[in-house]
Every structure is written in C-alpha cells, then in structure tokens.
Amino acid sequence: METTGSEHFDVLIVGAGLSGIAAGYHLQHKCSTKSFAILEGRDSIGGTWDLFRYPGVRSDSDMFTLGYSFKPWTEPKAIADGPRILNYIRQTAAENGIDKKIRFRHRVKRASWSTRDARWTVEAERRSSEGARDNVRFTCNFLFMCSGYYKYEEGYTPEFAGTKDFAGLIVHPQKWPDNFDYAGKRVVVIGSGATAVTLVPEMAKTADHVTMLQRSPTYVVSRPAQDPLANKLRRNLPTSLAYHLIRWRNVLLGMYFFQLSRRKPERVKALILSGVRLALGPGYDVAKHFTPRYNPWDQRLCLVPDGDLFKAIREKRASVVTGEIDTFTKDGIRLKDGSELEADIIVTATGLVLQVAGGVEMAVDGRAIDFATKLSYKGMMYSDVPNLASALGYTNASWTLKCDLTCEYVCRLINYMDRHGYRQCMPHNDDPTIKALPSLEFTSGYVQRSIAKLPKQGSRRPWRLYQNYALDIVSLRFGRVDDGVMQYS
C-alpha cells in the first residue's frame, strides 16, 4: 500500500484508552504546546474497557484511585463494572473536547526519530469504516505512547494437548463472542487471576456449574463494592473535596498494606487467609485452593467485590479445582491425577501477552530501538531515546495514579523545552555504577514470560522504579526537569 499525506503536530498521542484521554486533558490544560492528535487503532474510545466484553468485566481497583485526579467519580459503586468505567472515560473525552482530536482506525506501525530534523515520523495503517486500508504518515515533535502494556490482538493461551478433541467451545476472555449464551452449560474456567475470579461468579448466575481450574492458588481478598464512608462524605461535602479525601485515604491504605506485606508477609498472609476461611466456612480446604506458594504482593492480589466468588462457591454454583492439566478430551479436561472435569465450554483465562510501546517498530536515526537494552527513566522514558514517553501504571496500585503523574511531567518537560528553545530531550546514563535490574519484581506468569523483552530499571534514581505514589509525586510533580540526567539540545 502506498503511504499518503503528512500532517504535523507538536505532540502525537498513541491510544485513546484511560491514559490517552488523561494525556489529552493534561496537554490541553497544562501544556504550552499548541497542537496534538490521538491515533487510535480501534473504532472507539476506551482501550481495555472497550476491548474486554466478558461477563462481569470490572476494575480490581477502587474508582477513587482508578479515576482521574481532575474528574471525580460520582457513581455509588467504588468497584465499578466495565460499562460504567467506559462511560466515565468517554464522558471525560466529550466534556473536554478530546474526542474531536482522535483519529480512529489508525493503527500505528512504525515510528522513526531524526536528530537532524528533531522530529518523529509516524506511519499508521488507516482503515475506513467499510474496511478499505491505506497507509498514512504523520510527523510530531514529541511522541507520547498511551497504548497500554499488552497485545490487543491476542491473549496468552498455553499449548494444551488435545484441544482439537474437545467437542465443546473454547473461548479466551480477550476474544469474547457477542451474545454468547452459556445458560445451563457446564463451564471450566482455566486460571486463577483477576479475569478468572471475575468470570466465575458472574457466569455461575446462569450456567449449570462453573469450575475454576487453577494450577496454583492466588491471594483473594473481599471488599465491599460500595464505600459507605465515601458515599457519606459525598452527601455532606463538595464533590471534589470528598473525592480527593477518599482518594488519598485509599492511596495511603494501599501503600500501608503493600509495605506491611513486604515487611511482615506472614502476618498479612494470615490476615488474608482468615478472611477466606470466614467467607467459605470451616469445612473448606483453604490450604489447598486459596493458599499460594508465594508471599502477598509477590504477585498482584485478586479482589472480589462483596465476596461474590466465595458466595458462588458456598452456594455450590461454582467450585475450585487445583491441579495440572494432562489433556483436553472430547467431554472436557483430564488432569494429571487422573480425574476428569466435564465441560461444554472451556474459558482460557490464562493471561496477557506483554509488549513495549504498543508493539510499534521504532528507530532513532535509522537504528532500530531494542527496548530490552534500555533503562527506564522515572518509569516513563527510555535511555538514549529522544522525545518519547510512555504512560504506564503501577503494579501495586491503581493504573491511573502513575499515568496522571506521567502526563503532568510530560507537560512540565515540554513547557521547559519551549521556554528555553530546546527541540530535543533525552535521558542518558553516564554513571557506570548504575546496575541494570529487571523492570518488574513480580513473579506472575505473564510478567516472567516477557521480562527479557522489557526495558530494565536502574539500581538508583532516576532509573529506579519504586512503585510508590508518594515518592513519584515528589519526583514527577515537584522534582527538577533539568536534573543532569535529562539532556537537552
């Protein structure tokens, strides 16, 4: 296909999901830059919350921290479902005119930086509403990747033996069929992460029975879907004040619980498991099905609002089986211990495929960027890569907390460059004592499968990722942008 056109913008944002809309808002309100556009490969706003359509899809973070700092969450439920989160994102875009900046059906394929021209050239495949495709080109001074951290085209599914023998339907949550009817069916959900614990209680409402088949357990914590204190404060205080009070309370509680998990893992483990035992009763084998081999927060905790998973298990509409798969059979799954699970439908809630910068091919002055060799600067930029930032969230807290700070920092950076007449900014490490470390300290399968391809973190600031909102506020909102590591020209 021939490449056509070449529009120029001060900033190009890639992705119109939760972080892309945040980036648009901050550029509008806090940045001296004059023009920006958002390139979105899909047909609509929302990113993850538009992509995932499986039953019960919801956040595993409270909306007082997952919500934007600049737009209070006003719905009664603190743990919100996917459609409500999607509406919130689209409402934010419409209220601020950001929706008019989005070029839908523009899937970015390549981006190349020219030091001589001090600009990025971005190539995208454009798809018409009728399905016709052509290539288009854009240029920009600064490229802001808000494309998330996983591959939208496909999720991760291990190679299970015997899948072709299974007479029923195999579905991955990332590719959930429209109007999928599972009422009265026997369902096996493979997995024990956030998607699995969401799917199981929701499908169990109408399915004949739902079995969560896990190779090993995950820490599962119950939390009320509504926050009584938050709702009380909102009735008695101005909306914005109430929102920020609850937001900070939840941030501080989350930080406290994470640090306690690090300092006293056995105490936190006992606390979580006592809650599970209370929810499931004295006769349930919590040791086998809900006691992981790792410490709390070595992997992300799973949240179940109002204990819906535990309720489905108590009512025998759902069950948990812990064991390893031997093979799929005509009628279900046979485990390595010889037992069999009968199923009409198998859901492979087996994880995501991680990728850097939306999988876009990138080059600087004709040399391809290998992100695995780069150090991550403040969790948002990359060593020796000019005028490029990525909006990425926390692993131990709400995604949007870090994204908001990243957007603020990018605006500060661009404003600084404009004031001093700089055209290029690039983090550079010339300290040989900085050691390269894995970017994430999680043992989760989806992280370990991809860790070798991800950028590294350094052993000290500003290359170190502390996964700590309070420290990041100091660094990103108030720290100097001319710190000696960021080079301007």
What DSSP character marks residue 204? T
Q: Identical fold at 3-151+357-488 and 163-348?
A: yes
Spatial CA neighbour of 485 closest among 389, 373, 376, 390: 376
Per-residue model confidence (pLDDT) at position 438? 80
Query: Whole-angstrom Cα distance, residue 279 to residue 275?
Result: 6
Indicate the pTM of the whole model.
0.92
What DSSP character marks residue 217? -
Q: In this structure, what is the dihedral angle of CA atoms 171, 174, 175, 180, given to the nearest 10 degrees?
A: 60
Domain ranges of the chain: 3-151+357-488, 163-348
Q: Which architecture characterizes domain 163-348 according to CATH?
A: 3-Layer(bba) Sandwich (3.50)
Question: Tokens representing 453?
Answer: 């391809």
53-63 pLDDT, tens per residue?
999 999 988 99
Per-residue model confidence (pLDDT) at position 442? 61
Question: Tokens representing 196?
Answer: 């699995």
Per-residue model confidence (pLDDT) at position 33? 74
For tokens 């072709």, the residue is 164
SS3 119: strand
For tokens 């907390």, the residue is 401
Query: Whole-angstrom Cα distance, residue 5 to residue 103?
Result: 14
Query: Whole-angstrom Cα distance, residue 214 to residue 193?
Result: 9
Element (H, E) at 24: helix 18-30
Single-letter code of the amino acid located at 264: K
Per-residue model confidence (pLDDT) at position 465? 86
Per-residue model confidence (pLDDT) at position 3? 58
List of the chain residues with pLDDT < 50: none
CATH superfamily, region 3-151+357-488: FAD/NAD(P)-binding domain (3.50.50.60)
How would you classify residue 50: left for phi > 0, otherwise alpha for psi between -120 and 50, otherwise beta? Answer: alpha
Spatial CA neighbour of 148 closest among 488, 489, 391: 391
Q: Strands 302-305 and 361-364, how do they pair?
A: unpaired
Query: Whole-angstrom Cα distance, residue 489 to residue 483?
Result: 14
Per-residue model confidence (pLDDT) at position 383? 94
Per-residue model confidence (pLDDT) at position 215? 92
